[in-house]
Amino acid sequence: MTRQVTIALAQHDCVLGDKDANLAKIERYLRQAADLSADLVVFPELGTTGYRQDLLGDKLHSLAESAEGPASQRIGKLAAELGLWVVLPLIEASSVAGVAYNSVVLIDRNGEVVGSYRKNHAYSTEGRYFAPGREMPVFNTDFGRLGIMICYDMGLPETARVLTLQGAELIVVPSAWCQEDEDIWDINIACRALENRCFLAAVNRVGTEGETLTMHGKSKIAGPRGQTLAEGARFAEDLVVGTVDLDDVVPARDEIPYLRSRRPWSYGPLTDLRL
């Protein structure tokens, strides 16, 4: 098993509510990434549908589908053709009518859905439209152990730490991050990578939805010191590609042993529901 992985972050705009148009763009980015010898391609939060739940209205539920539904099957077919791992965002339908999740699915090189991650932490009004996820899975790949967060999850340090303690060496973060919080974007990426001595790849949307949301892009791949290894354009579509060696994680964790220095018996307030 090779420990090097070439990551492609597809920083793109979306057409709100037009799944076919967005999937066609995703397919174009997959072909570009394959031409650049990518192993893993990551797309922005809700990149198959657009982000603004309030503007989608009743259409939100008609756009929802299962983790192994038509979007995953369509992209899985191309993933198998190109030999790519894909992190694909979608509105995931629940088995309960009227309940949906802000999710991503992980598709392997054979085009099969390995699993899904449902966003755990709702930002602003998201909780009106999406049920929260309850699990933080880590996935085995042919290059290493992969964890996934979605956008605002990155602002809760517990999320990345739980993924790390379950073995994640690389964490990817599909996002629709607003330009007003660009400074927080930079800080969160660096902090989560440094604290966990892992690689972190965060892809951000560009474009506007409605009159109040503009997303600034600037997708990044960060190393175990929190350093920026690759960075995308601001306010423009881009394909950010970088190669990392997951064998660098062990020496990084030896150099600054945050994980060995933990004292879990002192951390009771972290799970005190009275706070």
Residues facing 41 on adjacent strands: 8, 86
Q: Are 116 and 106 in contact (CB under 8 A)?
A: yes
Tell me the fold of 4-256: Nitrilase/N-carbamoyl-D-aminoacid amidohydrolase (3.60.110)
- 200: left (phi > 0), else alpha (psi -120 to 50), else beta? beta
- Residues serving a catalytic function are 45, 119, 151
The residue behind tokens 């990426």 is 189
pLDDT tens digits along 92-113: 999 999 999 999 999 999 999 9
The residue ranking higher by pLDDT, 272 or 235, is: 235
Alpha carbon 121 to chain centroid, angstroms: 13
Whole-model pTM: value is 0.98
pLDDT tens digits along 11-55: 999 999 999 999 999 999 999 999 999 999 999 999 999 999 999
pLDDT tens digits along 204-229: 999 999 999 999 999 999 999 999 99
By the 10 Å C-beta count (0-12 exposed, 13-18 middle, 19+ buried), 257 is classed as exposed
